[in-house]
Amino acid sequence: MSINWTNEVEKRKDDLLKDLQKFLQIKSVLDEEDATEDAPLGKGVKEALSYLLTLGEKDGFTPKNVDHLAGHLEFGEGEDLLGILCHVDVVPEGDGWSVDPYGGEIKDGKIFARGAIDDKGPTMAAYYAMKIVKDLDPTFNKRIRMIIGTDEESDWRCVEHYFKNEEMPTMGFAPDADFPIIHAEKGIADYDLVQVKPEEITDSGIKVLSFESGRRYNMVPDFAKAILVVDEDHTKWIQNFEIFTKDEGVKGSYYIENGELVFQVEGVSSHGMEPDNGKNAGLYLAAFLSKLPLSSQGKQFFEFTAKHFFKDSRGIQLGVSYTDDITGDLTINIGKLRYSEAEGGRLGLNMRYPVTFDMDKGKTIIENVEGYSIENFTDSKPHHVSKDDELVQTLKKVYEDQTGERGELLSIGGGTYARSLEAGVAFGALFPGREDIAHQKDEYMYIEDLLKATAIYAQAIYELACES
């Protein structure tokens, strides 16, 4: 059967865009404060999962809701199972958008919204790829299943629960990263470094009543705020702050409220897999505060934070720097920063480490950091599929057929659902040369790329799961 996949996508373009816009208009951000039994991760996440399952049932796929934490859509025949692993949850929108972050606005050849490229746009591309293959009614040698997660941006409770209860695919791919093919992913460890309260605290000096920045381990914080009690004239510290922010090239503001001095810094948010693509507002403000005559507890925390993490995303000062030829440098993103006089300091770290890094040894080094303890440690091990694997070679051929470009094998610092499969890779949907704006303001996906990705996924499903 000779199939023009681009033409098949073009026939369904209008419907694809309409369905994607509706999908993007759902604010599917984790919200455990308003969680219920049938919406364990919040109403928005539940709505996004229900939207995709309902759409699939209407289009003739077999849907299943797995305890409102995950779901799947299935078609095809055979003992073997091809998995396509996607997620409907998105990170918080953040500030500074020029368009409605949940509008799904189309302009200048792009569709704008939180989740446009991570991961609702690619998910809808994969969905329509499945729909195209189903409509062609070929002879199948595998079942095809889109596995829908709801907690990829946080703790992966969705996929953990799913695979405790559902079949593991024979092979699969996740449209949640870059083209051509990602066959290696770094390990990802999230944990908190918590300040051990000093036995003696000197109260003299400036007191930091509160300091806060960041909401997620895997995002570079774009805003930080500190509230200080300053007994002397505020003018000197305000002038120092203005000089600091100007010299560092970040936007700072300040005001006085109820006699307390408030400093704020605006940075640049980005995905935590490469912290240097952003400007960590929390670390900039911590670096400034470390130079002030603070009380002893505050001085220790802010000096430690500035020394070990300000402009050091490679773990050099922490003593865990490492690199290999498969996945590159170890990176550390400080995604959450907190301090108060009452509670002391706390840092939320997102550490992405190479395939050959000894995490047990690294954890021991961190556990021995003086004055700090580790809490809430989680570790997702690295993932690596051989370049000679049948799955990798088939996807490589499909990519080259559809683009006319070489299907290079890549490695990333991000984590996709592909690492939960024995034979799974990340496959798109960000094309080479395109700016990676996942987790940033004014997130978008090119319409041209959306359609091209759909054609690639359709051919990939056909070649992996159908008789030629």
Secondary structure (H, E, C), the chain: CCCCHHHHHHHCHHHHHHHHHHHHCCCCECCCCCCECCECCCHHHHHHHHHHHHHHHHCCCEEEEECCCEEEEEEECCCCEEEEEEECCECCCCCCCCCCCCCCEEECCEEECCCCCCCHHHHHHHHHHHHHHHHHCCCECCEEEEEEECCCCCCCHHHHHHHHHCCCCCEEEECCEECCEEEEECEEEEEEEEECCCCCCCCCCEEEEEEEECCCCCECCCEEEEEEECCCCCHHHHHHHHHHHHHHCCEEEEEEECCEEEEEEECECCECCCHHHCECHHHHHHHHHCCCCECHHHHHHHHHHHHHHCCCCCCCCCCCCCEECCCEECEEEEEEEEEECCCEEEEEEEEEECCCCCHHHHHHHHHCCCCEEEEEEEEECCEECCCCCHHHHHHHHHHHHHHCCCCCEEEECCCCHHHHCCCEEECCEECCCCCCCCCCCCCEEEHHHHHHHHHHHHHHHHHHHECC
Q: Which residues are tagged catalytic?
A: 89, 152
